[in-house]
Chains A and B, each alone.
Chain A
Amino acid sequence: MTLFNLGAREAGHYAEPVTLADLVEQGEARSVVLESGDEVAALKPYLNRLELVVLRFPIFRDGRGFTQARELREYLHFGGEIRVEGHVLPDQADFLKRCGVDSVVLPEGSDVRPWERQLKRYSVSFQRSVLPEKVLDVGTRVAR
């Protein structure tokens, strides 16, 4: 597999993430993998030791992971790494990044150029995100 970084944070090396159910049993685990139906709020008791949250996309059309990432950043103020694995498309790179995702797991040998292109594509967005983006004019748009 290949790890692709969406932003400045370098993907770290962690022990194999445990499932949400196992996290309850093994409170010492530092990385967890959430399925798209899992509630992010369930991570609250473990936040201070979690270093990595992996969000699994069963298929690229299942957009729950975007909300999970955003809740992690905006509601739980999670400062560790958020990683996405499963079926995602390079066309989603910017959306993932703006919801707070740091890295994406790609199949070995994937062409990362479409991912790189997508991250450079837009110089403006029309809504605020969890990233510290610079507000343009009075604030309906942000610079990228």
Chain B
Amino acid sequence: MKRAVRVGAGEGLVITANRLLDGAIVWLSADHTWQTAIQRAEVLVSDAVSERLEGVQSRAQADGVVGIYEIAVRPEVGGPVPLTMRERIRAFGPTVHPQFAYEQQEGAGA
């Protein structure tokens, strides 16, 4: 079993994966669909995560996603901002190619 992600005060969790067909990074939204923008991700409290993970894991093949896991975020006005550099790079794009940055809403920068 993978270690549970630790969440501090005022922080939450979002669920992420990669799309099987093109490898694109996707985020689980409140309507249980996979979205390419982290701004559409639903921020969950710790208790809700394991049940939600189980549900999406069982649908992974049908939904065409792989490598599902949860990450810690800080909810901000522009949308959730991941706490780790790795996940900020996944959410917003490589830091060394600004032209490849993912579209963000105002104020949602890393």
- Touch between A and B in complex, CB under 8 Å? no
